[in-house]
């Protein structure tokens, strides 16, 4: 039996090449990446900004918050 109310998060490195596959969850526009803190190839802090609708999505502790606004 599979419990559908459980959610498992697996931490993966937030890399720059994620821009090739991620779009704005609000309007599906392209995102610009601003890096505030980086270690090796991992983005620790920063933000994505949509080129089309100007929504901003934060990256904290290597995890992007891409919830629609």
> What separation in angstroms does the CA of 53 have from each of 10, 56, 64?
30, 9, 18
Fold category of 16-64 in CATH: N-terminal domain of TfIIb (2.20.25)
Q: Which residue has the higher pLDDT, 5 or 47?
A: 47
What is the pLDDT at residue 61? 92
- Length of the chain counted residue by residue: 69
What is the pLDDT at residue 40? 86
End-to-end CA distance of the chain: 35
Q: Where are the domains of the chain?
A: 16-64
Q: Which residue has the higher pLDDT, 19 or 30?
A: 30
């Amino acid at each position: 039996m599979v419990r559908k109310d459980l959610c498992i998060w697996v931490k993966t490195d937030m890399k720059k090449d994620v821009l090739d596959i991620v779009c704005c969850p609000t309007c599906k526009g392209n995102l610009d990446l601003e890096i505030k803190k980086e270690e090796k190839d991992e983005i620790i802090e920063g933000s994505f900004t949509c080129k089309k609708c100007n929504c901003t999505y934060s990256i904290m502790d290597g995890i992007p918050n891409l919830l629609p606004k």
